[in-house]
Copies of this chain bind each other. A is one copy, B any other.
Amino acid sequence: MKLNTVNLPKCENCAIRATALFGELETRHLDRARALRSSQVSYTAGEYLYYEGDIPTKAFTVYKGWVTLFKNLRNGDRQILRFALPGDFLCYKVGKNKQLDHSAIAVSDVTLCAFPIDRFREVISELPELAFALSSITETTIKRCHTALTTIASHPAETKVAYLLLSLFIREASLLNNPERIPFPITQEDIADALGLTPIHVNRVFQSLRKQGLILCKNRSLGIPDKAALAKVAKISLPELEQLMMGI
């Protein structure tokens, strides 16, 4: 973990602002809102960002890298709740029970923008728009959670895997000017833990998808030559998924 409080990059021209917390705010409000941001924090791959049960003091926007949010189950398994990519907002918590219900680990090396949670109260009272920006973010989170639920409940494993790969690809590619392939730091086991499958079966699905030419996946990188075709396997409409994964 490495903290940086000086020479923070400007929010105004931040590449990920459109999809992040401040993307919901008009530029003229940025001055006041930016007062929230106190620092940037970096973690190396494999490091915990926080643990289930922690009481957080800072919320984060992912600035660079991928993060896994997950719960450890009593049988030793873990359930991955989602993968957080640049622009995602983590760890905000104001309810009565302030304990976090999940843990987070850096999948790749990550950098986060940190916001002291207790400062949100003051800023919101003079800038109610921030409250709506927060609501908007959590609405997206819930929506994604809903589609995740829907996906995991759907029976054929091929559908689940296709859905997950496609949605990660769309999100990461949009941050990178839509390259052919994206860096793909997660393992087949991560995917299994996210979808409630065994790594072995995920592997078999991967091979089947490769054989069909739907995915190119090796060396920690992922390519999807024909997104529409994969969307068909994922049983989802591509435009809908793109809308969900981008802006809001």
User: In the complex the two chains form, is A149's CB within 8 Å of B150's CB?
Assistant: no
A8 at the B interface (CB under 8 A):
no
Is A32 an interface residue, CB under 8 A from the partner?
Answer: no
Pick the residue among B101, B142, B149, B243 that contacts A152 (CB under 8 A).
B149
Residues of B within 8 A of A243 (CB): 97
Give the total of A residues in contact with B, Cβ under 8 Å.
49
Interface centre among A73, A124, A149 (most CB of B within 10 A): A149
Is A204's beta carbon under 8 Å from chain B? Answer: no
Q: A79-B149, A235-B73, A247-B96 are in contact. Are A124 and B128 (CB under 8 A)?
A: yes
Q: Offer 23 A-B interface pairs, CB within 8 angstroms, sorted by A.
A: A24-B96, A73-B154, A73-B235, A74-B236, A74-B237, A77-B154, A94-B135, A95-B135, A95-B248, A97-B248, A101-B147, A121-B132, A124-B124, A128-B131, A131-B131, A131-B134, A134-B135, A138-B138, A145-B149, A148-B149, A152-B153, A153-B196, A155-B196
Task: Beyond the given A94-B136, A101-B147, A138-B139, please list 17 additional residue pairs across the A-B interface where CB-CB is below 8 A.
Answer: A75-B235, A79-B149, A79-B154, A81-B149, A92-B135, A93-B139, A95-B135, A96-B136, A125-B128, A128-B131, A142-B145, A145-B145, A148-B149, A149-B152, A152-B152, A152-B153, A153-B195
